C-alpha cells in the first residue's frame, strides 16, 4: 500500500507527491500514475469517482396511498364549495398542479377514484384499506343522465390534455368497469354506458379497439349484460352525434361487422336485431344494419354471377336469370340493385386487357347481346331503365377505358331494346348523374338529336 510521506514541490500546472515507492504526477486534469514497482496503471480522469454497480431498487406498488392522496387533494381543494361544477373545477386545478403524484404509474387508479370513489376491486366493490377515504363526487354516485355525468367526463378531458399519457389509464378503467358490469345494478350499468358514450363524444382520444374488443366476453354476452350496456351507449351517443360518427368509431374498433355477436347466441338473427333496436328507439341503427346486410348480399350475388359468366363454358343466361330471381325473392333485393349487379358483372367478365377502345366496345357488344335478357327482365319500367343508365354512366366515368365509348354503349342499350327512347331523352334533359355529366351529354348530342327527329317523324306519320 502506498502511503504519502513528503510534499516535494508544486507549480500552477503540476504537483509532485513522494509516496513511498511510487510517484504520482498530476498534469492539468489528467492524472498519470507511475508505479515504481514496475506495473503501470491506465490513465483516468481526475475528479471522477468510480461507482460500483448496485442492484436495481424496487419501489413497492402502493395504489392505495395514491388513491387516498387523490381523494385528499380533491377534498382540500373543494373545501367550502357546494356546487358540483365548482368542486370539480377546483379539483382539476389542484390535480394539474400535483406534480408530486405518480400519475404515470397510477393512472388507472386516478380514474377509478373518479368513477367509483376509490379503487375498484373484485366484483366491482371498492378495494383498499379499511377506513380509506372515499371520494363522494364520482360517476356512479351521479344521476344516470347526460347532465349528471358530463361534468366528470369534462374533468377527464382536461386531465388528458395536460397529461396525454393518462388516456391509457382511462381506457383500462373503462375496460375494467365493462368486465364487471354484471356485479352492478341496472342503474349503474346505465351510468357506465353513458360515461363511455360521452368519452367518445368528447373525443378524448381513447382507442376504441381495446375497449370494444373487451366487450366480447362470453359470460357477459350470454347473459345479455353487454348488449344492455352497449344499447345505452348507442342511445346516448346518437342523441347528439350522427350515425356516421358511430360507424367511424365501430370501424376503428374493428367491430362494425360484428354487432350481432354482442347478442346472446340464441338471439342472433336479423329479425331479433331489428326488434331489439326498434324497441329501444334506435331506428337509425336498424336502417344502417339493413343497408349493411343488403350490401353484403349484393356483393355475394355479384361474385356469384361474375363467376358463372367467366366459367368455361359459362352458365346459360336462362340459368343465371333463374338464380337472380331466386336471390331476389330470398333476400328481398330491389330490381335497381340487381340491375347494377348484372351490369357490373358483365363488365367484370369482359376482357379489356391490352385492347383499344374499339376492341373493348366490341367485347361489350358481344356480352350485352348474350346477356340482354338479364338486363331487360329487371329494367321493366322507365324508372328502372333510368337507374340502369345512371349505373352505366357512373361506371364509364370511373373506368377510363370506357370514358369515350359511353355514347356507343347508350346506343347499344337502345338497339337491344333494353332502354327506351323516352328514358334516354329524360336522362339527357334532367336525369343524368353529376359524374361526367358535361362530357357524356356532349358526346350523346348526336344520338339524342337523331332520337328526337325520329320521334317527330313518327308523330307526323301518325297524323297522316
Whether the Cβ atoms of residue 111 and residue 170 lie closer than 8 Å to each other: yes
> For 427-433, which contacts have Cβ atoms below 8 Å and span 24 or more sequence positions?
427/386, 427/389, 427/390, 431/386, 431/389, 431/390, 432/390, 432/393, 433/390, 433/393, 433/394
- Cα 50 to Cα 3, 45, 46, 47, 53, distances in angstroms: 21, 10, 11, 10, 10
pLDDT reading at 242 higher than 70? yes
Whether the Cβ atoms of residue 196 and residue 174 lie closer than 8 Å to each other: yes
pLDDT given at position 62: 85
Measured between alpha carbons, how far is 294 from 91 in angstroms, rounded to an integer? 51
Overall average pLDDT of the 78-91 stretch: 92
pLDDT reading at 34 higher than 70? no
DSSP helix/strand/coil, 120: strand
Measured between alpha carbons, how far is 375 from 320 in angstroms, rounded to an integer? 11
Measured between alpha carbons, how far is 283 from 101 in angstroms, rounded to an integer? 47
Q: Per DSSP, what are the bridge partners of residue 126?
A: 120
Percent of the chain with pLDDT over 90: 73
pLDDT digits (tens, 9 = 90+) for 341-366: 999 999 999 988 877 888 999 999 99
> Quick one: 111 exposed, middle or buried, by C-beta within 10 A (0-12, 13-18, 19+)?
buried
Q: What is the CA radius of gyration of the chain?
A: 38
Mean pLDDT of the residues in the chain: 87
pLDDT digits (tens, 9 = 90+) for 202-216: 999 999 999 999 999
Overall average pLDDT of the 59-64 stretch: 70
C-alpha cell at 452: 328526337
pLDDT reading at 55 higher than 70? no
> For 162-169, which contacts have Cβ atoms below 8 Å and span 24 or more sequence positions?
162/96, 163/103, 163/104, 164/205, 165/103, 165/104, 165/107, 166/103, 166/107, 166/110, 166/111, 167/204, 167/205, 167/206, 168/107, 169/106, 169/107, 169/108, 169/109, 169/110, 169/111
- In this prediction the pTM is 0.74
Q: Per DSSP, what are the bridge partners of residue 26?
A: 15, 31
pLDDT given at position 33: 42
Amino acid at each position: 500500500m502506498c502511503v504519502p510521506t513528503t510534499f516535494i514541490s508544486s507549480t500552477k500546472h503540476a504537483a509532485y507527491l513522494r509516496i513511498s515507492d511510487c510517484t504520482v504526477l498530476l498534469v492539468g486534469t489528467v492524472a498519470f500514475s507511475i508505479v515504481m514497482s514496475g506495473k503501470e496503471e491506465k490513465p483516468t480522469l481526475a475528479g471522477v469517482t468510480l461507482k460500483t454497480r448496485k442492484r436495481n431498487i424496487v419501489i413497492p406498488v402502493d395504489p392505495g396511498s395514491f388513491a387516498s392522496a387523490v381523494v385528499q387533494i380533491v377534498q382540500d381543494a373543494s373545501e367550502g364549495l357546494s356546487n358540483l361544477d365548482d368542486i370539480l373545477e377546483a379539483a382539476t386545478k389542484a390535480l394539474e398542479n400535483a406534480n408530486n403524484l405518480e400519475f404515470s404509474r397510477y393512472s388507472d387508479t386516478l380514474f377509478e377514484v373518479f368513477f367509483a370513489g376509490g379503487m375498484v376491486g373484485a366484483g366491482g366493490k371498492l378495494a383498499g384499506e379499511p377506513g380509506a377515504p372515499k371520494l363522494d363526487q364520482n360517476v356512479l354516485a351521479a344521476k344516470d343522465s347526460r347532465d349528471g355525468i358530463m361534468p366528470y367526463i369534462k374533468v377527464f378531458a382536461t386531465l388528458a390534455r395536460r397529461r396525454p399519457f393518462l388516456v391509457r389509464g382511462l381506457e383500462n378503467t373503462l375496460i375494467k368497469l365493462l368486465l364487471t358490469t354484471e356485479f352492478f345494478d341496472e342503474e349503474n350499468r346505465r351510468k357506465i354506458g353513458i360515461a363511455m358514450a360521452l368519452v367518445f363524444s368528447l373525443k378524448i382520444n381513447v382507442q376504441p379497439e381495446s375497449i370494444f374488443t373487451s366487450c366480447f366476453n362470453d359470460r357477459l354476452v350470454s347473459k345479455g349484460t353487454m348488449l344492455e350496456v352497449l344499447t345505452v351507449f348507442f342511445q346516448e351517443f346518437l342523441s347528439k352525434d350522427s350515425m356516421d360518427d358511430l360507424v367511424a368509431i365501430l370501424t376503428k374498433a374493428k367491430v362494425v361487422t360484428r354487432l350481432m355477436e354482442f347478442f346472446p347466441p340464441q338471439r342472433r338473427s336479423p329479425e331479433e336485431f331489428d326488434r331489439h333496436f326498434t324497441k329501444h328507439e334506435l331506428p337509425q341503427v336498424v336502417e344502417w344494419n339493413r343497408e349493411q346486410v343488403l350490401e353484403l348480399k349484393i356483393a355475394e350475388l355479384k361474385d356469384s354471377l361474375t363467376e358463372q359468366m367467366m366459367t368455361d363454358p359459362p352458365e346459360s343466361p336462362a340459368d343465371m336469370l333463374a338464380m337472380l330471381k331466386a336471390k331476389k325473392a330470398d333476400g328481398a333485393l330491389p330490381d335497381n340493385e340487381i340491375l347494377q349487379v348484372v351490369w357490373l358483372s358483365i363488365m367484370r367478365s369482359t376482357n379489356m386487357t391490352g385492347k383499344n377502345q374499339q376492341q373493348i366496345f366490341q367485347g361489350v357488344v358481344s356480352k350485352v347481346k348474350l346477356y340482354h335478357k338479364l338486363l331487360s327482365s329487371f329494367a321493366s319500367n322507365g324508372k328502372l331503365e333510368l337507374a340502369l343508365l345512371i349505373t352505366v354512366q357512373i361506371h364509364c366515368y370511373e373506368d377510363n377505358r370506357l370514358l369515350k365509348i359511353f355514347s356507343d354503349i347508350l346506343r347499344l342499350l337502345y338497339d337491344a331494346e333494353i332502354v327506351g327512347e323516352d328514358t334516354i331523352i329524360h336522362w339527357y334533359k334532367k336525369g343524368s348523374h353529376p359524374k361526367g355529366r358535361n362530357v357524356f351529354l356532349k358526346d350523346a348530342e348526336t344520338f339524342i338529336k337523331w332520337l328526337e327527329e325520329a320521334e317527330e317523324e313518327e308523330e307526323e306519320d301518325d297524323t297522316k
